[in-house]
Amino acid sequence: MVNVEELKMEIARLWLNPTKRIESIFNVRTSIGGIIPLKVPEPQKEMINDGILGKGRKMVENGLTYVSVLDKGRQIGFSTITAAEAILIAEDFPDTFIYYVADTLDQTIDFLDKITQLAKDANHYPEALGGGPILHVQDLSKQLTKTINNTKIIGLSGRAKGGKRGKNAIHVIFDEMAWAISVKNEQQEIWDVIRYYVRQGGSVRLQSTPRTTDDLFWKFYSDPQKYGMKAYYCPVITNWKEMDLKQPFYIDIDNERRAIKQYEIFTDEEIQKLIDDYSVNPRYTVDLEEKEIFQKGMIIPYPWVKLEELEKMRGDMEKFLQENLGVSVDEKYKLIPSEWIYRNVIDEPEWEDRRTSKNPFYILVDLAQQNDLTAISIVEKLPDETIVERKLDTSQEPYDIQVERIWTHYHAFKPQYISIDNTGHGRVIGDLLEKKLRSVSLPLSILHRVDFTSSSKEVMAVGFRRLVQADKYKFLNETKMHQQSIRHVERVEKEVLETHIRYSGKRWGRDDFFWSKAQVVWFTNLYLPPPAASFGKVKIKPFGKGLEMNPQPSSEYEAVKEDIAEKELTLRDISKIKAIGKVIAELSMGAVFCKKTKDAVKPVYCTGCQDESCPEYDYMKSVCVSAGTLPEIVWGKQKKYVKEEKL
């Protein structure tokens, strides 16, 4: 005979611990549709127990706000745990509001779908206590609002600018905060609204995979006490600092499995060498029965995360560190900050042809060695000079098949030009494409061959940077290939050498799609001259109203001439004055976002600022240094050399 009172006391004692309460109530669906109990991973228990359901409850009940900020890896179950926590907050605090905020509406809907699943599949009380539902679920039918115990759990998209200020909230979740960058100042604006929601006391959870070291999320996480917050860190691999991330995590030496997974097949000699090499390495376990080799001692507190999957991600080390280990990216040396890219993403599928568009199209190809990655970007130029990606493609096929692939795209999109890398093996494909054009009596001028020299690459890199900065280049981001192409753009860095500036993303992986997309600069009206050290002639002749490779001296140089004519000067002095003029001409074009003024300014203003943490500082300084002058000297002359209307 079950003692009802003892059973009630047992449940009450169990539920004093928030994580045990979650585990005793909720179930999750497996990928094949089964239902299993929800288990809270060990790293997440402290965060839940410290929150509004645990230690933080007294703060909230006293009218204060408990704020936690979480740096987390991706795909480790936080949205599910967060949804379960929100449901129990609704149970404990009826007649209130809970808000979930994310950058995109799809992300918001996905979270509220988890609320629905957890609420529907929740356990009931034991039969001895009547067997009724534990949760007071009232309405799960609406897509963006769920009602539990008279508390409304409401989903909001950070991109929507209206209707956010409303009722007071007991709990607010700002998910993937670091990636709320689709519109200008989005993180700050959402944070201001959140503070309004909990002005009478409540709980706030700021959580995200980090993006960069200079955004609002990282500011809160890196110095939480300054802002009255508590920080938590939950990487996928708990002890990753003790592991050798440069070496393989996992090697499958079973050729039958490798064939099924479409991996390269090892020879018997290769397998034996792997066994011999790793058997004597104290960091590794060689399991001959399971035919696998893996690093010892790696602590992954998430049973659904497999070493083999982590090994696949390790090829892009920067992304691996960011998405799995919560290491933010220092964008100081990045050519194009991620914020510029993601605010220019379009939520559209690819096109298979030009449809009914009468706008010019361009096929832009970065050619690779045979069996390596060739990147193809097909873009449309709108009447306002905005460039929009319409299709992306890759190839690792032999040259003749790559030519056929490009030719197929030509017939589908009828572009004005096909632009290709004319360096090395690119000449072979270029010759084959010319043969194709001749065979159908098309002009050879359709093929735009670009010699990838340091000068031409600088023109493309800097020009493409300004194109993205001006919100004139729109990226696709629907498929894995699209996401990969964005990564190619994100990882490109600029390095100032003695004679020129080098742009490359190969430090962290590949940059093929960057050089594919950057060729569009040749077909735009936007042109930014390269830094002074590369002011020599560029062999590529631009098309139409595109780039002017040797721009005529503008009004900036009139003032330079005056300075030279003022008195007798040595050739060295004249050279220095001309260098200053060139730098000012360079930095007077385009605009950058100033962290101090919170507005767009000419880059020449950066010469009067010594904020080395600013993303624009290195670019400005590199232009000055490459010309043999200093920012402070340029700043002293900028008012004289630059017309007022240009500033």
How does pLDDT run across 481-511, given as a tens digit for each residue? Answer: 999 999 999 989 887 776 667 888 877 778 8
Of the listed ranges 23-37, 484-498, 524-538, the one predicted with least confidence: 524-538
For 568, which DSSP code? -
Residue partners of 444: CB distance under 8 A and separation at least 6: 434, 437, 438
Q: What's the mean pLDDT when you consider all of the chain?
A: 86
Domain boundary assignment for the chain: 4-234, 240-325, 338-534, 555-646
Q: How confident is the model at residue 536 (pLDDT cuts 50, 70, 90)?
A: very low
Q: Residue type at 454?
A: S
CATH number of 4-234: 3.40.50.300
Q: What is the pLDDT of residue 520?
A: 95
**Rounded CA separation 198/204 (Å):** 8
Strands 230-234 and 65-72, by their bridges, are parallel
- Read off the pLDDT of each residue in 185-209 and give the average, rounded to a whole number: 92
- Read off the pLDDT of each residue in 148-162 and give the average, rounded to a whole number: 81
Q: Which of 291, 306, 303, 293 is nearest to 257 (CA)?
A: 291
Q: What angle do CA 424, 430, 431 make, to 5 degrees?
A: 105
Residue partners of 478: CB distance under 8 A and separation at least 6: 347, 348, 349, 350
Select the more confidently predicted residue: 76 or 323: 323
In degrees and rounded to multiples of 5, residue 480 shows phi and psi of -65, -35
Q: How confident is the model at residue 549 (pLDDT cuts 50, 70, 90)?
A: very low
- Read off the pLDDT of each residue in 183-208 and give the average, rounded to a whole number: 91
Burial per residue of 459-482, b for 16 or more beta-carbon CB atoms within 10 angstroms, e otherwise? bbbbbbbbbbbbebbbbbbeeeeb
pLDDT over 80 (residue 58): yes
Q: What angle do CA 168, 171, 175 make, to 5 degrees?
A: 120
**Strand spans (E) along 131-238:** 137-139, 145-148, 151-157, 171-175, 202-208, 230-234
* pLDDT tens sequence across 618-642: 778 878 887 788 888 888 887 665 5
Q: How confident is the model at residue 551 (pLDDT cuts 50, 70, 90)?
A: very low
For residues 9 and 194, is the Cβ–Cβ distance under 8 A?
no
For residue 191, give both structure tokens: 């944070």
Select the more confidently predicted residue: 268 or 589: 268
pLDDT over 50 (residue 644): no
**Rounded CA separation 622/628 (Å):** 10
Q: What is the fold of 338-534?
A: Nucleotidyltransferase; domain 5 (3.30.420)
For residue 374, give both structure tokens: 């060739």
Q: What is the pLDDT of residue 394?
A: 93
Whole-structure pTM value:
0.70
Q: Residue type at 614?
A: C
The pLDDT > 70 percentage for the chain reads 88
Indicate left, alpha or beta for 578 from its phi (over 0: left) and psi (-120 to 50: alpha). alpha
Of the listed ranges 160-174, 182-196, 473-487, the one predicted with least confidence: 160-174
CATH topology agreement for domains 4-234 and 338-534: no
In degrees and rounded to multiples of 5, residue 256 shows phi and psi of -65, -45
What does the H/E/C string look like for 214-280? CCHHHHHHHCHHHHCCEEEEECCCCCHHHCCCCCCCEEECCHHHHHHCCCCCCCHHHHHHHHHHHHC
